[in-house]
Amino acid sequence: MRRRVRITLDEQLRGGRVELQVTRTEYCSVCRGSGSSEVRASCDNCRGSGYVRPSLGWFPFLAMPTVCTDCGGEGVTQSKCAACEGNGASARKRGHLRFDIPAGVPPGGSLRVPGHGRRGRSGRVSGDLLINVAIAAHPLFEPDFPHLRCEMPISVFRALAGGIVEVPTLDRPVSVSLPTDLVDGTELRVARHGMLNGATGERGDLLVRLRLIRPRRLSDVQRELLAKLERLAADEPRHIDWLRRRRNADNMKRSTNRQAP
């Protein structure tokens, strides 16, 4: 029998305990689920031989014998169990099954819970319950086993200022340095803060994609600060070179106008 459970990323990392509501079939204790009694009688269809010959009119001896469908070739049949009227099952019971989820199970992985599956009519032991494990949706992180992915917005002002930003993880926030060439979509890698790989005992990485955001409307204070920043950037070499080339272009234009008739 197969069931599916969803676990959180925290349970995938540290393990947890899951409860399932299951329905089990209780089999007849008299016939042990077979639906037949122990009383055996000679098969009427094949008269105890286990084989029958199809009718070929005047030449029945030419027909090849086939296995009797009533007794399956055994030559004897069993009557129905009087306790369960041949059904084999006596009742269906519902209950709660609790079991542990080990740390590090991968998304889509399976767990086996022995003895909690279905039992065949002729079997005396119940099969196993196979649990398929899925990861529940998280507000911040998306599984990419063994890594985790997330997107984090960052203002253009913060991107220009650089420095340190705080990145959330499954444990506690981690401080990460911003790169100097930050653009929209830049990906930060926080080592060993992803999902746990149970096969290796190691954790993957947390991959943080930065999304630049700019204010839709600037207040007067923000405009004043931006103007001040622009004036402070006037001594940048590229800006100084641009002013120089622009003055040369203006001088060239004035010289051309003086030479015109």
pLDDT exceeds 70 at position 133: yes
pLDDT, the chain, mean: 83
pLDDT value, residue 151 = 96
pLDDT exceeds 60 at position 26: yes
pLDDT exceeds 70 at position 89: no
- Residues of the chain with pLDDT > 70, as a percent, come to 82
- C-alpha–C-alpha distance, residues 195 and 16, integer Å: 15
Span 102-116, pLDDT tens digits? 999 999 999 998 877
Q: Are 1-25+92-137 and 142-213 the same fold in CATH?
A: yes
Beta bridge mates, 238: none
**Comparing 20-29, 119-128, 130-139, 200-209, which segment has the lowest mean pLDDT?**
119-128
For residue 259, give the 3-state DSSP assignment.
Answer: helix
Nearest to 69 by CA among 56, 81, 54, 52: 52
pLDDT exceeds 90 at position 128: no
Helices (H), ranges, the chain: 9-14, 156-161, 220-232, 237-259
Distances in whole angstroms, Cα of residue 185 to Cα of each of 77, 151, 179: 75, 9, 12
Structure tokens at 79: 């009557």
Domain spans in the chain, listed from the N-terminal domain onward: 1-25+92-137, 142-213, 220-259
What band does 8 get if pLDDT is binned at 50, 70 and 90?
very high
- C-alpha–C-alpha distance, residues 22 and 130, integer Å: 12
User: Model-level pTM greater than 0.85?
Assistant: no
pLDDT exceeds 60 at position 60: no
In CATH terms, 142-213 corresponds, of 3.40.120.10, 3.40.1360.10, 3.55.10.10, 2.60.260.20, to 2.60.260.20
Distances in whole angstroms, Cα of residue 30 to Cα of each of 81, 85, 89, 103, 218: 8, 11, 10, 43, 83
Nearest to 7 by CA among 94, 97, 129, 109: 109
What fold, for 1-25+92-137?
HSP40/DNAj peptide-binding domain (2.60.260)
Span 161-190, pLDDT tens digits? 889 999 999 999 999 999 988 999 999 999
**Comparing 110-124, 188-202, 205-219, which segment has the lowest mean pLDDT?**
110-124
pLDDT exceeds 90 at position 13: yes
